[in-house]
């Protein structure tokens, strides 16, 4: 699940929020629908990001009762090719290229977000060994509220993904339950928990700092 594309799509966003409470929201992205009085959150825009903004996550994967990997992942907003990019310590990708991707009928994230919204997520990709993979999941925004992570407390949407990930090389799939907590004020997932019946993967925000 260490997939850089998925990480930046968590678009796909206090000077240092580590161990501090935060209940702020971003007005441009989060508003109340006057027709329904429901909270609605739109997709972040390039102008919502600032150079120097940085997110650090702790991650841990467990399989067959043993810890297989434990470490940190980060994203930082940097000046890149005349615009802003996201740097993960290895590669940099322009934020505009992420936000302006062709819209899919089965997206990873369907904007705008609101509690009760449902959609289908499907994706064709390759794993680290080069095997063709298919992800097919039913998605639902189940709630919105305060979530506590290592970096503090944030208002977040709880989004559940339920379905299968199929490895076409071996011709078999596994049932997957994946839960994301997306914080509009940070423009990123602050937590992610995945269980595929074989093992588990947890990604949790450890530190966040605003940009310039």
Q: What local confidence, expressed as pLDDT, does residue 28 receive?
A: 53
Domain of 101: which CATH number? 2.40.360
- Sort residue 10 into left (φ over 0), alpha (ψ -120 to 50) or beta: alpha
Each residue's pLDDT tens digit, 160-172: 999 999 999 988 7
Q: What local confidence, expressed as pLDDT, does residue 64 receive?
A: 82
Q: What local confidence, expressed as pLDDT, does residue 32 receive?
A: 72
Terminal C-alpha separation, the chain: 31
Count up the domains in the chain and report the number.
Answer: 1
Q: Which residues make beta-bridge pairs with 159?
A: 141, 180
* Residue 96, φ and ψ in degrees, nearest 5: -60, -35
Residues 87, 75: Cα–Cα separation, whole Å:
5
Give residue for tokens 């997939």. 3
Enumerate residues 6+ apart whose C-beta is below 8 A from 102: none
- What is the pLDDT averaged over residues 62-75? 92
* Residue 97, φ and ψ in degrees, nearest 5: -70, -25
**In Å, what is the CA distance from 46 to each residue of 11, 55, 180?**
11, 17, 22
**Which among 179, 183, 184 has a CA at the least distance from the CA of 203?**
179
Print the domain residue range for 84: 4-209
Q: Which pLDDT band, with edges at 50, 70 and 90, does 83 fall under?
A: very high
User: pTM surpassing 0.85?
Assistant: no
Give residue for tokens 């530190």. 207
Q: What local confidence, expressed as pLDDT, does residue 171 receive?
A: 82
DSSP labels for 31-74? EE-TTT--EEEPPP-GGG--TT-EEEEEEEEEETTEEEEEEEEE
Q: Which pLDDT band, with edges at 50, 70 and 90, does 127 fall under?
A: confident
Enumerate residues 6+ apart whose C-beta is below 8 A from 197: 174, 175, 176
Q: What local confidence, expressed as pLDDT, does residue 101 receive?
A: 78
Look at residue 150 and tell me whether its pLDDT is greater than 90: yes
């Amino acid at each position: 699940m260490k997939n850089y594309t998925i990480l930046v799509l968590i678009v796909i966003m206090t000077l240092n929020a580590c161990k501090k409470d935060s209940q702020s929201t971003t007005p441009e992205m989060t508003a109340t629908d006057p027709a329904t009085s429901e909270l609605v959150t739109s997709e972040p825009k390039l102008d919502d990001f600032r150079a120097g903004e940085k997110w650090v996550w702790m991650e841990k994967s467990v399989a067959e009762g043993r810890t297989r990997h434990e470490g940190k992942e980060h994203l930082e907003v940097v000046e890149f090719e005349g615009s802003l990019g996201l740097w993960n310590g290895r590669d940099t990708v322009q934020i505009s290229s992420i936000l302006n991707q062709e819209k899919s009928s089965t997206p990873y994230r369907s904007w705008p977000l609101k509690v009760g919204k449902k959609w289908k997520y499907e994706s064709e990709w390759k794993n680290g060994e080069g095997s063709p993979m298919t992800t097919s999941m039913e998605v639902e925004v189940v709630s919105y509220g305060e979530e506590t992570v290592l970096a503090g407390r944030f208002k977040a949407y709880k989004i559940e993904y339920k379905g299968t990930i199929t490895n076409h090389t071996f011709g078999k799939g596994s049932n997957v339950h994946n839960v994301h907590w997306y914080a509009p004020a940070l423009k990123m997932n602050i937590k992610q928990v995945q269980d595929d019946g074989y093992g588990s993967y947890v990604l949790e925000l450890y530190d966040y700092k605003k940009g310039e």
